Structures are given as structure tokens and as C-alpha cells.
């Protein structure tokens, strides 16, 4: 059983501040609590989030609303087939008067980036963004610029309309901390959406956090206690994706490649953030279970046999979670 560690009064106050962010986003977004929770997890873990869902499920609105609750700079980049890397990062412009080149910074120089429909842009543009995500810096000409913290990329992609898209390579998708699948609203939620969207009144989320609050929260998240039994639980889950037969799982024919160590790291980081959001100073097995699907689904490479049998990554994860012994 995980050791019970309490948050200090200051950390508790920071955890309560996160609840105000949820309250503000709920003014604008109906339902989709899991998506909002995933976005905030990325913010707290210094990670980037990939949102996937059909059009009209408030993916873009959710990211814009979350950015609106933080006094931080925000950029929305609409990815299109004719986009160039310089359109993201910026370029050098020749000044005739001075006879020198000056740097014009692109939209990637912001705290929160919304990369809308990331799979619509060519590979070289995707690479430019993913390099900025990984290195937290951008090179324009012979100059390198550090990106301001917090720096988080929240990308969206559409699972339908695959014509004219450039799917992200597996190695690049792995750089996203989480891949969150957005589902349809319930009947009650849809009714509430109709009420709000047809009333003619626009509701805006208020700014309740500053960038320095996010940086302080990150320090607290880093200090959340993780018991050795939880670390064993995480390594068992990840190793089960690589060697399923060791855990008496008949999944070898369905999995082409298992998860990398990056998956183990991401599971612990996300679980720490979830514990902090819930006002706890320690990680529980339920935190691991909650984030397992979002952290692992884009890191498990399925075989052709799995595709033929219409087996999804989530089905494999469910079998693993059900089999691995909970501490």
C-alpha cells in the first residue's frame, strides 16, 4: 500500500487554485472533464498533449479556454498542407536601411500553443514543431532562442477525413506525454450545450492563474511521494507490453513493439499531477490506472494481425491492467 504523505498548507492552497481553473473552464465547456483534466496534467508535467476526436467536440475551444484562465501568451496555429517551417518558428528579414538581417519570431514563441489539425501539415513542418517541443528552443538562421516557461503544445487531430493528411510517425507521436481520445457528450450534456449555445449570451473564463503559479505547482508535483510498490506496478505494466507471456498474457501476436522507458516516466509524472489535483501528497494505484490509457495508447505499436482482428491499443491496455497485480 502506498505511504500516506500530506501536502503542506501552501501546496494545498496551490492544489485548490487548480480547482478554480476547472470551475472557470466549466463555465464555457460542457462535460469533457477528462479532456480538461488531461490538458491541466500536461501543463503540470511539462508535457505536450495530443487530442483526437471528430470535429465539433470542443477540442479547440477547450485549449483556448484553458489558456484564457492563465495570464500567459497563447498562439493558435492552423496546420495546412502549404505551411512552411518558417511560418511556425519565424524567419530573418533583410532591413534595407541598416543593411542587416533582423529576426521576426513566429507564433511558436508563446506559453501555450494550439497546433490545430497537426496531421494536415507536411513532415518538415511537424518536425519543426516537435523539435521546439523537445528542445524548448528554436534556431532561426545562426541564432538560437530559448522558449519561455511554461511552454506547452496542445495539438489536435481528426481521425476521419484522412485524405490529404500526413500521419505523425510513431517516433514523433511518442514525444507527446498523452494522447487523449475525445468522445461524444451524453444526452444531458448535449441538452445543456443546446441551452447555452442558442441563448445568444457569450460566457468567458476569467484569468485565475499566473505563469509563476504554474511553475510553483510544477515544483510541488515533482515532490509528490511515489512508493517503491507503485514503481514496481508501473514497470510491470510497461514490461507487459514488451513481454506479455511473462505475465501469462496472450498478446504477443497483437503487439509489434512495446512501450519505451519514456512510457514509464510519463506514467509516474502524470500520476503525480493527478494526485496533486486531488489534494494528495502521494501517488495511489488508481492514479496510475486513470492515466494509463492516455499515456500508453500511442506508444503500443500493434501488429497487422491486431489490425485484421480490429483490436485497438485500448483493448490491449485493458487486458494488461486487469492482469497486473495492484499493490
Average pLDDT over residues 274-297: 92
Average pLDDT over residues 192-214: 82
Taking only the tens place, the pLDDT of each residue in 233-254 is 999 999 999 988 888 888 888 8
| pLDDT for res 265 | 95
Q: How confident is the model at residue 161 (pLDDT cuts 50, 70, 90)?
A: low
Taking only the tens place, the pLDDT of each residue in 261-282 is 999 999 999 999 999 999 888 9
| pLDDT for res 160 | 66
Q: Is 33 exposed, middle or buried (0-12, 13-18, 19+ CB in 10 A)?
A: exposed
Q: Does pLDDT of 2 surpass 50?
A: no
Residues near 191 by beta carbon (within 8 Å), at least 6 away in sequence: none
Taking only the tens place, the pLDDT of each residue in 129-145 is 888 888 888 888 788 88
Q: Does pLDDT of 4 surpass 60?
A: no
pLDDT more than 90, % of the chain: 28
Average pLDDT over residues 23-42: 86
Residues near 93 by beta carbon (within 8 Å), at least 6 away in sequence: 101, 102, 103, 104
Q: In 96-235, at which residue ranges do the beta strands (DSSP E only) sit? A: 100-105, 112-116, 137-140, 143-146, 152-157, 178-181
What is the distance between the alpha carbons of residues 120 and 117, in angstroms, rounded to a whole number?
A: 6
CATH topology for the 17-214 domain: Rossmann fold (3.40.50)
- Each domain of the chain, given as residue ranges in start order, spans 17-214, 225-323
pLDDT more than 70, % of the chain: 97
Average pLDDT over residues 150-166: 80
Give yes or no for a contact between 323 and 239, defined as CB atoms under 8 angstroms apart.
Answer: no
Q: Work out the mean pLDDT of the chain and round it to a whole number.
A: 87
Give me the sign of the Cα torsion angle 269, 273, 275, 281. Answer: positive
What is the distance between the alpha carbons of residues 177 and 183, in angstroms, rounded to a whole number?
A: 19
Considering the domain 225-323 in this protein, what is its CATH number?
1.10.8.80
Residue 176 vs residues 6, 212, 247: alpha-carbon distances, Å = 30, 23, 28
Amino acid at each position: 500500500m502506498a505511504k500516506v504523505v500530506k501536502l503542506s498548507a501552501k501546496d494545498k492552497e496551490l492544489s485548490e487554485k487548480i480547482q478554480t481553473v476547472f470551475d472557470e473552464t466549466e463555465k464555457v465547456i460542457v462535460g469533457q472533464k477528462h479532456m480538461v483534466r488531461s490538458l491541466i496534467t500536461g501543463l503540470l508535467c511539462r508535457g505536450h498533449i495530443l487530442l483526437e476526436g471528430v470535429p465539433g467536440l470542443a477540442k479547440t475551444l477547450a485549449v483556448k479556454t484553458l489558456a484564457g484562465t492563465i495570464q500567459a501568451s497563447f498562439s493558435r496555429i492552423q496546420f495546412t498542407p502549404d505551411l512552411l517551417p518558417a511560418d511556425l518558428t519565424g524567419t530573418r528579414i533583410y532591413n534595407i536601411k541598416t543593411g542587416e538581417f533582423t529576426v521576426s519570431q513566429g507564433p511558436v514563441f508563446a506559453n501555450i500553443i494550439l497546433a490545430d489539425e497537426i496531421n494536415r501539415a507536411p513532415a518538415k513542418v511537424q518536425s519543426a514543431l516537435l523539435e521546439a517541443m523537445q528542445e524548448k528552443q528554436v534556431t532561426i538562421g545562426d541564432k538560437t532562442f530559448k522558449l519561455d516557461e511554461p511552454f506547452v503544445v496542445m495539438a489536435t487531430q481528426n481521425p476521419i477525413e484522412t485524405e490529404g493528411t500526413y500521419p505523425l510517425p510513431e517516433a514523433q507521436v511518442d514525444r507527446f506525454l498523452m494522447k487523449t481520445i475525445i468522445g461524444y457528450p451524453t444526452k444531458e450534456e448535449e441538452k445543456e450545450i443546446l441551452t447555452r449555445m442558442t441563448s445568444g449570451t457569450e460566457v468567458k473564463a476569467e484569468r485565475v492563474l499566473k505563469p509563476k503559479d504554474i511553475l510553483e505547482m510544477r515544483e510541488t508535483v515533482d515532490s509528490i511521494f511515489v512508493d517503491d510498490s507503485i514503481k514496481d506496478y508501473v514497470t510491470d505494466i510497461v514490461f507487459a507490453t514488451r513481454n506479455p507471456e511473462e505475465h501469462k498474457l496472450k498478446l504477443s501476436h497483437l503487439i509489434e513493439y512495446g512501450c519505451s522507458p519514456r512510457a514509464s516516466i510519463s506514467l509516474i509524472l502524470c500520476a503525480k499531477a493527478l494526485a496533486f489535483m486531488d489534494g494528495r501528497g502521494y501517488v495511489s494505484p488508481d492514479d496510475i490506472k486513470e492515466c494509463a490509457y492516455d499515456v500508453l495508447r500511442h506508444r503500443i505499436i500493434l501488429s497487422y494481425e491486431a489490425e485484421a482482428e480490429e483490436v485497438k491499443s485500448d483493448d490491449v491496455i485493458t487486458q494488461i491492467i486487469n492482469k497486473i497485480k495492484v499493490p
